[in-house]
Structure 1
Amino acid sequence: MTATNVQTNLTVFKPYQAGEAKRMPRLNNEGFAGSLHHCIVRMHHPVHAIPLPTLWLLNPKESDTGPPMLFVPLIDYFVGRSSQAYATHIKSSKMIGWLWDYLHQRREYFEARQAELGENASSVLINEFINHLKNGTVIPGPHGPHDETGLYWKPCPSIELLAGYAVALDRFLDNFGSRTVGAQYDEVKSLLPKSALDTISLVRMARANSGFSILEHLRDRDELPQRQNKWIYSLIIGKDSRNYNATPVKRFPQHLLVPMLTEGFVIDPGKPSEREDATGRMHAALGTGGLRGSEPLHLWVNDLQIVDDRLIGFLRHPVFFRDGGKRRNRQTILLEDYGLLPRNMRSGRFQAGWKGLALGEEQFAEIQWMPLEGIQEFLQQEFAHYLVNVRNPVMRKRAWLGLPDHPYFLVCAREIPALGVHIGDPYTKAAARGSWERAINRLSLLHPGEEIVLEKNRGTTRHGIRHLYGYLLRSLGFDEAFIQRAMHHRHIMSSRVYTAYDDAEVHASLEAAKEFLKTHNNQNHLPHFPSLSTSLDQMFTRAVGGW
């Protein structure tokens, strides 16, 4: 699809009319760089049915009357990479939006530098742009902080974050197309672009002048031409000098797992109608199979079943899985039977992420539960209770109300009109997060001595159960290849994040090794330090001169 076709056919991408520019929503953009003359709006492509972070640009001179401009090349770029996650795409939109703001805010400064530096001005511009993204634009002074740019960007929280954005911009530039590859310096008359395409031409010139790409360090050295200069991004961003420690390990406290699942989701024991948050507990219980928080939201009713007194579960690809060799995959079934898209392709509150899992040729993997005593009985009981007493009655009421059917296992058990939630709607990420947070708060009240706080580094988020899953498998002696398969990782390095030792384990292991050597008299060949009493005797002898 060409840019022209997109511009004429995608009428859904024209939500703003003249005079509405001031009402455009503003994004926080990771909390360090705001949006001044641009806006990013999540929209569905009307032809390909994929969510896109569309970039809308405002010309400051026309901000009162002129409508925002859609940056069409990004749409072409995203459609050509529709398998990539929305979170990956939005980085390109943010970087181009920030660059647009930067160029307009520093117009006079860069026009003066252009007269001074000539064709090197474009490289200086990009150099200063990346520096300001890294360090922020606010400068402390004797009369308080000030910002000559008017952008008021905060310093970027981490080098890793900034590098990710720079790579996203670089990849877009690499694929932008031949219409700007050959742009010469004298074709761009001013550093202040008259259009978004001029902006990209400007950045491409800066890259051509510097001669290097940020992707340099991501490719095999043997494939790269030998060049003497380093790319400007890496020189400015620098290396990530933060201290990465294995502690605190972000796994859910092992001794609180059973109380969390049995007590945390009990709302009010005295009110049978509001006694429990059954859907929240079922979602949390599925975490004992090592599932990420979004993965249970993709489960259909037939993905879980009791066979020979065991609950068996399957992670099936939300798009490509075909049940029993049938011709239709899940995407086709959802479209033809329910009028829905797979949840990883949807936008809004029903969207649910799907990371690349290690699935078999038939696009599914079996869920392996934690090897804990009594866990099968607990899971069977929870599954049967939820299916019989929660989901089935809820979906019958939904049908009676004339609401459409769907195949998803987890459902909203009640209606919330203020939020637009209908009874039986597919369970959402927001509902799961809220349910988990309330359960943590209840657990903290039931166990005041534990200091239970919802915090990532304490492992008390929902994802902490997945970290606990990996830790338990490692502590029981399973090797890395086994853990990789159980956690459905495509790369073995991904599993190591979940099996890291904490300081307490390292200390205990070293103390045990010391006692073992001491008990078995195996220290003769190792250096050893004298005891405290021996050291004091030697010190006294030296002090008195051998008395």
Structure 2
Amino acid sequence: MGSYDGLGLYWQPKRQENAKRHLLALTNFLKSPANGDEGWRLASTPDFADPFFSIRVAYHYVVRRNKSLLAHLKGRAEREVESHPYSGLFSAKPDGGRTYRFPTRYVWDLLYNGFTSGRDGEIDETAQLIAFLLFAGGSRLSELFHVWVNDLQWIDDLPLIFLHHPREGRVHHKGRNLNRVEFLESQTRIPRNKRQKRGHAGFKGLAGELDGAQLIWLPIDILQEELGKRLRHYLAVTRPRIMRLRRAKGLPDHNYLFVGSGKMFGNNTNAIGEPYTIEAFRSAWKAAIGRVSNLRDDPNLTVAKRKGTTPHGARHFYGTFLKTIGCDGEIIAECMHHKSPFSHLRYTQLMPSEINEILEGKEASPSSSDFMKRSVSEAVAAQSRRYSFH
């Protein structure tokens, strides 16, 4: 499992269902303090204010965290311990507070200028294209690292990308209907969410993941056109060029769409033609934010969750955009592929300044409710005139 047993216990592995049964039994045992279950029920209700019960709850949590069945394995205890059930009294971590989206005023500088090296003007096309997809399609970052070449399809000039479960998604190969793990095993590969460390990409799950959940682009014609141009160039020029270099080294091709160039860029390297890694992208993203900071002379522009400048901030940007153009919750949940109909609420919180701008726009003109859409279109049009493929 890749973990180090510092105590030298070396317990034999168990089947998943047996391990779950043992952990459940241990958890139920730890949930039985001297005062009995009734005391815990009372302690967890808001109208019961006995501080001694609260202290017991806190102690119970510490014991469970430190005396977990897997606590002897370094680096696993925090991941394996069940979350504390009495979160109303004590919490293992803060609830995260407000969510933050990527600041609109920096989006287009990031997409068009951020991934260009100042030294030689070289563009990290793979990282740039993934950034375009994050903003235009609102996906989670990790989902894009499971996309295969045949997950990209076209209707006329409009690109379509479908997200599949990395293990259970279906594949039709030589007349056979396989799941993806079966196909990957035939190529001596394993799904990326099962890889350790390098090349790993998580997968949280999304609605429609088995048949393919289509990324829904923001309704901005010029942004879709720009995305289409870049995807065609990547598919027809960039990826084949990299894979020719890979084959020259005697290495086989594979199904993943995004591949590493093997060059140093953004303080990271990829083996030539290997599936592009999240680590490489994060490094390129951080370097891109730094370039935009220099371009805009804004030293406060750094990668930080509370500033909305992480890659996930693009997903919040996407959800906020849909809300500002009048999409209801059901549509937003569909576009963001949430399994829960309530998950979108966290992604669409407006900042006070945004609310004021919307209200001022409505007061100024009945047609100004689409101000964000117009401003985005104008920004993309201006940037696309400065830089585009021919």
- Give the TM-score band, short-chain normalised: 0.7 to 0.9
CA shift for structure 1 position 388:
2.5
- Match for 1:312 among 150, 157, 160? 160
Question: CA distance change for structure 1 residues 303 and 515 in 2, over 3 Å: closer, same or farther?
Answer: closer
Question: CA distance change for structure 1 residues 244 and 505 in 2, over 3 Å: closer, same or farther?
Answer: farther
Question: CA distance change for structure 1 residues 215 and 514 in 2, over 3 Å: closer, same or farther?
Answer: farther
CA contact (8 A) 1:210 1:231 kept: no
CA distance in 1, matches of 2:211, 2:351: 35
CA shift for structure 1 position 323:
3.3
Alignment of 1:49-448 (within 5 A): 54=3, 56-58=5-7, 68-72=8-12, 75-76=13-14, 79-80=16-17, 173-176=23-26, 204=29, 207=32, 209-212=34-37, 232-233=56-57, 238-239=89-90, 247=98, 249-268=99-118, 271=120, 275-287=122-134, 288-323=136-171, 326-336=176-186, 338-359=187-208, 362-415=210-263, 421-448=270-297
Question: CA distance change for structure 1 residues 510 and 442 in 2, over 3 Å: closer, same or farther?
Answer: closer
Q: Which has the higher contact order (CA 8 A, sep 6+)?
A: 2
CA distance in 2, matches of 1:506, 1:257: 20
* 2:347 partner amino acid: Y
Once the two structures are superposed, residues 483-509 of structure 1 have per-residue CA deviations (whole angstroms, 9 ceiling, x without a partner) of 001000000221111001212234556
* 2:17 partner amino acid: G
CA contact (8 A) 1:55 1:71 kept: no
CA contact (8 A) 1:440 1:452 kept: yes
Residue 488 in structure 1 maps to residue 337 in structure 2: yes
CA contact (8 A) 2:167 2:191 kept: yes
Question: CA distance change for structure 1 residues 382 and 514 in 2, over 3 Å: closer, same or farther?
Answer: closer
> Following TM superposition, where does structure 1 have runs of at least 4 consecutive aligned residues deviating by more than 6 angstroms?
213-217, 241-246, 509-516
In the alignment, which residue of structure 1 is the partner of 2:349?
Answer: 500
Instruction: Work out the percentage of aligned pairs sharing the same amino acid.
Output: 32
Question: CA distance change for structure 1 residues 487 and 419 in 2, over 3 Å: closer, same or farther?
Answer: closer
Question: CA distance change for structure 1 residues 392 and 512 in 2, over 3 Å: closer, same or farther?
Answer: closer
SS in 2 for 1:327: strand
CA contact (8 A) 2:262 2:273 kept: yes
CA shift for structure 1 position 263:
0.6
CA contact (8 A) 1:410 1:427 kept: yes
CA contact (8 A) 2:102 2:307 kept: yes
* 2:126 partner amino acid: T
CA distance in 2, matches of 1:484, 1:214: 40
Residues paired across the two proteins, number:
324
Once the two structures are superposed, residues 320-363 of structure 1 have per-residue CA deviations (whole angstroms, 9 ceiling, x without a partner) of 12235942111111111x21011111112111000121116x53
For structure 2, list consecutive stretches of 5 or more residues without a partner in the other structure: 45-52, 62-88, 366-390
CA contact (8 A) 2:246 2:273 kept: yes
CA shift for structure 1 position 275:
1.0
CA shift for structure 1 position 315:
0.6
CA shift for structure 1 position 475:
0.5
In the alignment, which residue of structure 1 is the partner of 2:72?
Answer: none
CA distance in 1, matches of 2:277, 2:39: 37
Query: TM-score by structure 1 length?
Result: 0.53
SS in 2 for 1:445: helix
Once the two structures are superposed, residues 253-299 of structure 1 have per-residue CA deviations (whole angstroms, 9 ceiling, x without a partner) of 1232222111111113x73xx61111110111111201111111100
CA distance in 2, matches of 1:71, 1:480: 48
CA contact (8 A) 1:444 1:453 kept: yes
SS in 2 for 1:497: helix
CA shift for structure 1 position 246:
6.2
CA distance in 2, matches of 1:515, 1:369: 29
Once the two structures are superposed, residues 402-428 of structure 1 have per-residue CA deviations (whole angstroms, 9 ceiling, x without a partner) of 123211011111256x98842011111
CA contact (8 A) 1:299 1:409 kept: yes
CA shift for structure 1 position 367:
0.7
* 1:233 partner amino acid: V
CA shift for structure 1 position 511:
7.4
CA distance in 2, matches of 1:243, 1:208: 26
CA contact (8 A) 1:214 1:234 kept: no
CA distance in 2, matches of 1:285, 1:215: 50
Query: TM-score by structure 2 length?
Result: 0.72
CA distance in 1, matches of 2:159, 2:276: 21
CA shift for structure 1 position 245:
8.9
SS in 2 for 1:80: helix
RMSD: 3.7
Once the two structures are superposed, residues 155-187 of structure 1 have per-residue CA deviations (whole angstroms, 9 ceiling, x without a partner) of xxxxxxxxxxxxxxxx964245xxxxxxxxxxx
CA contact (8 A) 1:321 1:329 kept: yes
SS in 2 for 1:460: coil
Once the two structures are superposed, residues 191-235 of structure 1 have per-residue CA deviations (whole angstroms, 9 ceiling, x without a partner) of xxxxxxxxx9xx936736453499979x9xxxxxxxxx8894368
Once the two structures are superposed, residues 296-323 of structure 1 have per-residue CA deviations (whole angstroms, 9 ceiling, x without a partner) of 1100011113321101111111111223
